[in-house]
Structure 1
Amino acid sequence: MRMPTRPRNDVRQYDDLAGEWWRPDGRFAMLAWIAAARGRLVPPAPRPGAILVDLGCGGGLLAPAVAGKGYRHVGVDLVRSALEQARAHGVTPVRADVTRLPLADGCADVVSAGELLEHVTDRPGTVAEVCRILRPGGLVVIDTLADTALCRFLAISVAERMPGGAPRGIHDPDLFVDPAVLTAEFARHGVALRTRGLRPQVRGLLRWLVTRRGTAPMVPTWSKTVLYQGVGRRLE
């Protein structure tokens, strides 16, 4: 089926691709691998009734990685079709803009912002909301794309032209995020963010590209020039 032509970073693309969220051989397969890596950074719930707020939750790909850790998993997204799938995987859905969250100050023990910050046009406002809803001592976990020439080449010129790769136009490279800038933005809100690079395991990625089977586990790397993770705690 021919997909509609959309502007870059148009949220309607996720409705067009609604059937891809949970396909292990689909266009969002790498998002599932990244979500699994993000979930490994989330510790068991620190208290009964703990809340994990999953910003830009999409179809709920983080859910398997945090199942059994004791959180109420709240997912925030703008895309109704994605939220319906997230609900089916145990996520409490909230349709909202991440710069104007309908959530109370300090309500979240963990805030996840996975593959989100390279899509928002108001990054400072988004970071401010992440920190506002995070309780003192709470944990934030993020992953995003770096504002580098190498990342733009790989994410746009390569991945979007690769058969079965990233959907064409899913990213706007002007929104990619410098890790030093992001660290400084979180620091202004009392969150000390530590970052590290992330990449797919080469053997697993090559196998998946050839067979569209299995997964390519994401592994840490010293380089933050393409994809990177961040972890931080809000000061008590």
Structure 2
Amino acid sequence: MRIAPRTTPSRNDPRQYDDLAGEWWRPDGAFAMLHWLAEARARLVPPAPRPGAVLVDVGCGGGLLAPHLRGKGYRHVGLDLTRSALEQAAAHGVAPVGADAGALPLADGCADVVVAGEILEHVPDLAAAVGEVCRVLRPGGLLVLDTLNSTALSRLIAVTLAERVRGVPRGLHDPALFVDPRVLRQECARHGVTLLVRGVRPGVPGLAAWLAGIGRGAGRIVPTWSTAVLYQGRGVKQAGSESQGGR
């Protein structure tokens, strides 16, 4: 009997996250840097502007943003494709919604804040995803995001090198989907959001400790002068703006 060879998942296959369900809340595991990024993202989110304010977390994963939002006064709605991740997010107080970033099942202008952390480099249709996150953001609302730049240096660090160290899973990223910040700013501007970007990177002491296997949640994301690898974006939707990507 001929045995079929074991297949390797294609890059950026969301089903891989079910296999990695046990990694979400291990602060020293494969998703350690996602914890650091979540904390950095939350630093850009102000306290809720009104009672009942809604924060929409697109690509929420296991809900890593939730601990950093406690006390800020938001109803935290998390959207993701992966059911196992949403179950963990719900256990941390997130209202879970199964959804694709390019087709959010939410009303226009329902969110005071939209967060899109480490998700835009995974979507096959960037324009559709940006249109959706801007559509659900109310005029005057805040968009916060971070993603990987579409440069050779970013591909080298985030894919070639990262997949060789500390058990970072292979195939989570498809570098063809990495996001040029100029393109991202243009797409946001089409929907009334003027996006400001800045480069960020892991702090050296925490990164070194994690690489050595001796760090437990001590990493931190800090600003840097270059956006060549990883960058944050922050922008406010102009009053009176209507997204061109509405549903």
Q: TM-score range by the shorter chain?
A: over 0.9
Partner of 1:192: 194
SS at match of 2:121: coil
| Aligned counterpart for 1:179 among listed residues 178, 181, 185 | 181
Extract unaligned runs of 5+ from structure 1: none
Extract unaligned runs of 5+ from structure 2: 1-5, 240-247
Q: How does 1:107-118 map to 2 (within 5 A)?
A: 107-118=110-121
SS at match of 1:100: coil
SS at match of 1:171: coil
> CA contact under 8 A between 2:35 and 2:217: conserved in structure 1?
no
Partner of 2:134: 131
| Aligned counterpart for 1:43 among listed residues 42, 46, 68 | 46
Q: What is the CA distance between 1:4 and its match in structure 2?
A: 7.4
Distance 1:5 1:222, change over 3 A: same
| Aligned counterpart for 1:232 among listed residues 214, 235, 238 | 235
> Normalising by the residue count of structure 1, what TM-score does the alignment of the two structures yield?
0.97
1:102 lines up with 2:105 in the alignment = yes
Distance 1:189 1:216 in 2: 35
Partner of 1:75: 78
Distance 1:99 1:150 in 2: 27
Distance 1:24 1:17 in 2: 14
Superposed CA offset, 1:172-211 (max 9, x none): 0000000111001100110000000010110111012111
Partner of 1:208: 210
The higher radius of gyration belongs to 2
Distance 1:188 1:216, change over 3 A: same
Q: How does 1:4-83 map to 2 (within 5 A)?
A: 5-83=8-86
Partner of 1:141: 144
Distance 1:226 1:16 in 2: 27
Q: What is the CA distance between 1:213 and its match in structure 2?
A: 2.6
SS at match of 2:207: helix
Identity of matched residues, %: 69
Number of residue pairs matched by the alignment: 233
Q: What is the CA distance between 1:216 and its match in structure 2?
A: 1.3
Q: What is the CA distance between 1:103 and its match in structure 2?
A: 0.4
RMSD value, Cα: 1.1
Distance 2:123 2:204 in 1: 29
